[in-house]
Amino acid sequence: MKSETTGRNTWKSRTGFILAAIGSAVGLGNIWRFSYLTYENGGGAFLIPYLIALLTAGIPLLILEFGIGHERFGSAPLAFHKISPRWEWLGWWPLLFTMFGIVLYYSAVIAWCIDYLFFSTTLAWGDDPNSFFFNSFLQVTSSPFEIGAIRMPILIALLVVWVVNWIIIVRGVGPGIELANKIFMPLLLILTLALVFWSLTLEGAMVGVSAYLTPDFSKLSDPMVWVSAYGQIFFTLSLGFGIMIAYASYMPYESNMTGSAIITALANSGFSLLSGFGVFALLGFMSANQGIALEDVVQESIGLAFVAYPKAISLLGTAGPLFGVLFFLSLTVAGISSSISIVEAFVSGIEDKFAINRELLATLLCLLGFAGGLIFTTQGGLLWLDIVDHFINNYGLIVAGLLECLAVGWFFKIDIIRNHLNKVSKLQLGTWWNWIIKFALPIFLSIILVNQLFRELLGAYGKYSWESLIGIGWSWIGISLLLSFVLAVQPWKTNNHLQNGRGEELK
């Protein structure tokens, strides 16, 4: 649906916008990534840095991204071009590495969830879910350069993921994305509530819950716990992706943007905290049932959803298959509502600059997404996923967030954004917000970045060779950066960059 006055796509309602933003934020990351990080980083102790990161980085940056998209009135590339043509590349870069990085492997993980939804009905993993996952299902090779064959079940499910993405996106902002989220988000909440309450009734559940809620304060002195908390906040709120900027640009002028950012951030973290109860209750049940310590139930992060959960599903007896179907369905729904958001953000960027027909674009991007995802359906796919995920999350998102703060805080009048937000929103931002964007966030993010780089130099990530880290990880970042400059220097095929579109003079 396009606005009659501005000609830009618009949401049908504020609720629709907030649900779509929550849909982007709530994803696979909230269910397995959050729970695993909490588990690994001292249970309840992790909640402290997590909440501090939410308040000091997540909410201020989400407000910034909503503010940029709404005030500059454009997708990320257009909005940054209007900040200064020199910064346009910063709008393209995250779109490129997210669309052709995160989403390619993210959709492969959604594909695994679809496969596991079916496996749950027959408990196909038998007595050894670990060996089933790595050896029978993925058939992982020993090096990323040994890609092996494509795994058919993953390929078929990946096709389903991209067809669903396409059906939603091609319908447009209101009838596609907004409607999908209006169905997906309530469905996800119901599924999650059912799973959490079910898990809480299991024997041993309280042991897990008490580990979840009991902080181990000694962990707080470990800088890695803080790095993980800030990294998770970026990923979970889809910050530094360019998505929230595009979504905010579809809001009409009179919209409470600051309030919407706070609701989105709190709903997203509330969802993580809620699903954490379910995960920990289930881990408590497994530890009681198998007589092993809670710390030993899960070995690897990816293993939480695809090894520990299947094991628990088998232990549930006749109700197991139903539990499994609900769990993997909830992951699938959460994943798809996130993946559509980046494709939309990319479509929006190209549409703004090159005025290409959106149906054609959506079709092309979904085809490219599927084709690019093929590498993650191969036997070497898990290793590629691990490397790409490591580099994009630890460098791409953090650097994009850092540059966003610097571009707006230091090379632009940040008060233009703050005054605009204050004019349209009920909640008023004080100058403290400028301070966070100009000083606090750049300092936090630089510390995290230096820490990561240092660790990178001290030893190769994982057990991968330097060739694979450079050939896959660094080059993924480098190529997307290069392409962002190429896109930024292309001439504009529209006049969008010359006007603010809301009929006011561009400051």
**Segments in 123-201 forming alpha helices (H):** 129-131, 152-170, 179-200
- Report how many residues bind ligand PFF under the rule CB under 6 A: 18
Least gap, CB of 92 to ligand PFF (angstroms): 16
Residue 341 within binding range of ligand PFF, rule CB under 6 A: yes
Residue 366 within binding range of ligand PFF, rule CB under 6 A: no
Number of Cβ within 10 Å of residue 222's Cβ equals 14
Q: At which residue do the structure tokens 């703004």 appear?
A: 352
Residues in contact with ligand PFF, shown as a per-residue x/- string from 81 to 100 under the rule CB under 6 A: -----------------x--
Cα separation, 195 vs 191, whole angstroms: 6
Least gap, CB of 243 to ligand PFF (angstroms): 6
Nearer to ligand PFF, 27 or 49 (CB): 27
Among 10, 199, 338, 480, binds ligand PFF (CB under 6 A): 338
Cα separation, 400 vs 243, whole angstroms: 12
From 70-78, 187-195, 246-254, 335-343, span contacting ligand PFF (CB under 6 A):
335-343
Least gap, CB of 322 to ligand PFF (angstroms): 25
Least gap, CB of 63 to ligand PFF (angstroms): 17
| Best CA proximity match to 8, nearest among 505, 391, 496 | 496
Cα separation, 80 vs 88, whole angstroms: 5
From 102-110, 117-125, 427-435, 458-466, span contacting ligand PFF (CB under 6 A):
102-110
Nearer to ligand PFF, 244 or 375 (CB): 244
Among 66, 166, 212, 235, binds ligand PFF (CB under 6 A): 235
Least gap, CB of 466 to ligand PFF (angstroms): 28
User: Amino acid letter at 279?
Assistant: V
Q: Which two tokens stand for residue 469?
A: 């880290």
Residue 339 within binding range of ligand PFF, rule CB under 6 A: yes
Residue 35 within binding range of ligand PFF, rule CB under 6 A: no
From 231-239, 375-383, 437-445, 483-491, span contacting ligand PFF (CB under 6 A):
231-239
Ranges within 444-483 binding ligand PFF (CB under 6 A): none
Cβ burial 431-452 (10 Å sphere, 16+ → b, else e): eebbebbbeebbebbeebbeeb
Residue 30 within binding range of ligand PFF, rule CB under 6 A: yes
Cβ contacts of 182 within 8 Å, gap of 6 or more: 15, 16, 19
From 190-198, 275-283, 315-323, 333-341, span contacting ligand PFF (CB under 6 A):
333-341
Residue 342 within binding range of ligand PFF, rule CB under 6 A: yes
From 27-35, 115-123, 392-400, 496-504, span contacting ligand PFF (CB under 6 A):
27-35
Distances (CA, A) of 201 to 115, 278, 282, 309, 448: 27, 10, 10, 16, 40
- Per the DSSP assignment, residues forming a β-bridge with 215 are 43
| Best CA proximity match to 27, nearest among 284, 202, 234 | 234
Residues in contact with ligand PFF, shown as a per-residue x/- string from 135 to 154 under the rule CB under 6 A: --------------------
Cα separation, 227 vs 447, whole angstroms: 9
Nearer to ligand PFF, 236 or 255 (CB): 236
Residue 27 within binding range of ligand PFF, rule CB under 6 A: yes
Residue 240 has phi, psi (to 5 degrees) of 80, 10
CB 269 within 8 A of CB 22: no
Cα separation, 266 vs 421, whole angstroms: 19
Distances (CA, A) of 125 to 38, 306, 320: 26, 10, 13
From 23-31, 60-68, 354-362, 384-392, span contacting ligand PFF (CB under 6 A):
23-31
Nearer to ligand PFF, 106 or 166 (CB): 106
Among 10, 75, 120, 238, binds ligand PFF (CB under 6 A): 238
Among 9, 10, 24, 199, binds ligand PFF (CB under 6 A): 24
Residue 215 has phi, psi (to 5 degrees) of -75, 140
Least gap, CB of 177 to ligand PFF (angstroms): 12
Among 19, 22, 28, 279, binds ligand PFF (CB under 6 A): 28
Cα separation, 254 vs 252, whole angstroms: 6
Residue 393 within binding range of ligand PFF, rule CB under 6 A: no
CB 487 within 8 A of CB 356: no
Among 102, 104, 233, 392, binds ligand PFF (CB under 6 A): 102
Cα separation, 237 vs 110, whole angstroms: 18
User: Applying CB under 6 A, which residues contact ligand PFF?
Assistant: 24-25, 27-30, 98, 102-103, 106, 235-236, 238, 241, 338-339, 341-342
